[in-house]
Chains A and B, each alone.
Chain A
Amino acid sequence: MKLLLVEDSARLSAALAAGFRGEGFAVDHAGDGRTALKYLELHEYDLLILDLVLPQVSGLEVLRALRAAPKPTRVLVLSARDQIEDRVTALNLGADDYLLKPFHFAELKARVLALLRRRYGELSSRLTCGDLTLDTNARVASSGGTALPLTPKEYALLETLLRHRGRSFTRAALFERLYDGLSDASDRVIEVVVSTLRTKLDRAGLPALIETRRGFGYRVP
């Protein structure tokens, strides 16, 4: 899952990015509204965490621009503005949720996960495929009740493939979804992640869960 964090406080952005990256999210950060609009043009995001008071272009302007295009990106406004009018304006402009600063990181994470479930039309926090179960709240994959020792990136890859069962993803498409926009890594890193994930799935008795379709990429059938 890929998030865009639009927040002008460098300290808060660093903490949130570290927290979400630790959960396997790819996180891009924009410190002002103009940079956020550039990121939104270049990348596809599952969710936008948006501050309202931003330099150059305000958060509301970013929201208006985003909603002018038919993008399914969910928007969670994270703001210190506590007036009812601010919340109403943001929600009316197309925000999906509004959380007031200061906040509990656990609550922010829960709201992000809830919005992502809505984004993919899921009612439950569990994704299943045979014996394999993914708890998207706990960020844990298990087979027959035994948790698999996945890294955050392996978990994120598996979650992406299970969320879009039957759809093939090229290496570049997976890299775009799993890695930050400014990442220095090559998209060949996806091959490494797929390889280690397959090994762990094999050990858990789930061989050949991930198919490779030549010319199309990877998929879970």
Chain B
Amino acid sequence: MFHEWVRRSLRRRLLFSLLLGVGLSLAAFQLIVDQIVDRYIVISFATATDAAGQRDRLQHEIDFILLAGVVTVLAVSALVTVVSVRRGLKPLETATAAARALSPEHPAHALPLEGLPAEIRPLGERINELLEGLAESLGRERRFSADLAHELRTPLAEIRALAEVGADPRHGAPELRHFLAEIASAAEGMQGVIESLLAVARADRTAVQNALEPLQVAPLVQARIERLRVTSSVDPGRIAARVPQEIWIQSDPRLFDALLLNLLGNAVQHGDPRAPIEIDWLDPPAGTALRVRNSAPHLSPQDLPHLTERFWRRAARGQPGAAAGLGLGLWVVAGLCRVLDLSLSFDLDAEQRLSVCVSGFRGV
């Protein structure tokens, strides 16, 4: 498309140059004809008076005028064409130089639009819009990388400090066991973050949709609850799972497990530690849905749109309502829902219970 626009623009400029050259040629031709006519009149007079010498001289003059005229017209036309084309291409050369200066490090540099032909200007404007969007997108990704690096450095620092301080021989066995348990807990948290991020990053929607397999939901939910009991010391009696054994869905087993991990992990980390967590399988008219409900005493309806934002927390650590999580769980859930072609919705009821509902599962 770009080439077509450039070609059209060049064609117009060449046509303009050609017309200019033709105009100049006509003017020169007119001049030559005038000169020749004058000389023919003299020749006719010389013939009439039998002045042969004068006739031959005038004939040579006419030949010279014709030759010089043609050569001059050709040279001027070529010169005008070259100058005109060069001037026409000058803005394009500037834009090309600016395009060469673009790099992943400096995507925000815009193409200069001054002097661009009117036909190409919209193209330049569109490219600049795209560059601006690209710069914003790269900025967001850089901020995300910086946030993620920050969030991972802290648990890593915890693990290192616990290991190095715990290695002090003055510590007794109970203290050492405590340090080791803390290390395991910090490592578990990091692993969850990394695995969830990788699950979202690696998931390819088309590939996933082509590789769905039948999964029985209840045993998978039960396995996740059991894992939470081990890794997060959650009392299994606190979690009520009401998923019928006969429920089978078509899904990707790895991604569905990551979905459960983040849904339940979010409920455990952000809910009241004494309040129950309910897992229900719903059969609404629109399709099957999995709902996880937990108490969220510090959440307000205004917070719901922010729940899937990366690193969003209801409150900073240490404040009322703050949680131990990184603020990634529901962002990961939203990403997995996109890949698995599922819908995600939130509801906060009058009793301050947050329902996270994933719907659109395909039955077997």
Contacts and interface: CB of A to CB of B under 8 A. Distances in A.
Interface of A: 8-9, 11-12, 14-16, 18-19, 22, 31-32, 53-56, 80-83, 100-106
B157 A12 contact: yes
A32 B318 contact: yes
B34 interface: no
B156 A11 contact: no
Contacts of A18: 165, 171, 175
B153 A101 contact: yes
Interface in B199-216: none
Contacts of B154: 9, 12, 80, 101
A19 B157 contact: no
Give the 5 A-B CB pairs with smallest separation, nearest first. Answer: A80-B153, A101-B157, A55-B318, A19-B165, A55-B316
Question: Which residue of A15, A53, A103, A106 has the most chain B CB atoms within 10 A of its CB atom?
Answer: A15
A11 B164 contact: no
Dominant secondary structure at the B interface: helix
A1 B316 CA distance: 31
Contacts of B182: 11, 14-15
Nearest to B179: A15
A26 B160 CA distance: 22
A101 B168 CA distance: 21
Given A14-B182, A15-B161, 20 more contacts: A9-B158, A11-B162, A18-B165, A19-B161, A19-B164, A19-B165, A22-B165, A31-B317, A32-B317, A55-B317, A55-B319, A56-B316, A56-B318, A80-B150, A80-B151, A100-B153, A101-B154, A102-B156, A104-B164, A106-B164
B106 interface: no
A54 B185 CA distance: 22
B316 A16 contact: no
A21 to B, nearest CB: 10
Contact of B318 (A8, A15, A102): A8
15 contacts: A9-B157, A11-B185, A12-B161, A15-B161, A15-B182, A19-B164, A19-B165, A31-B317, A53-B150, A55-B317, A80-B151, A82-B150, A101-B156, A102-B157, A103-B160
A82 B162 CA distance: 22
B350 interface: no
Given A8-B317, A32-B318, A80-B154, A22 B168 contact: yes
Interface in B112-169: 146, 149-151, 153-154, 156-162, 164-166, 168
Contacts of B166: 15
A8 B318 CA distance: 7
Interface in B164-197: 164-166, 168, 170-171, 175, 179, 182, 185-186
Contacts of B318: 8, 31-32, 54-56
A14 B158 CA distance: 9
A11 B158 CA distance: 6
Nearest to A80: B153
A39 to B, nearest CB: 14
B162 to A, nearest CB: 5
A55 B185 CA distance: 23
Interface string B81-106: 00000000000000000000000000
A56 B160 contact: no
Contacts of B165: 15-16, 18-19, 22, 105
A53 B154 CA distance: 11
Contacts of B322: 55
Nearest to A152: B170
Contacts of B157: 9, 12, 80, 101-103
A107 to B, nearest CB: 10
B309 to A, nearest CB: 18
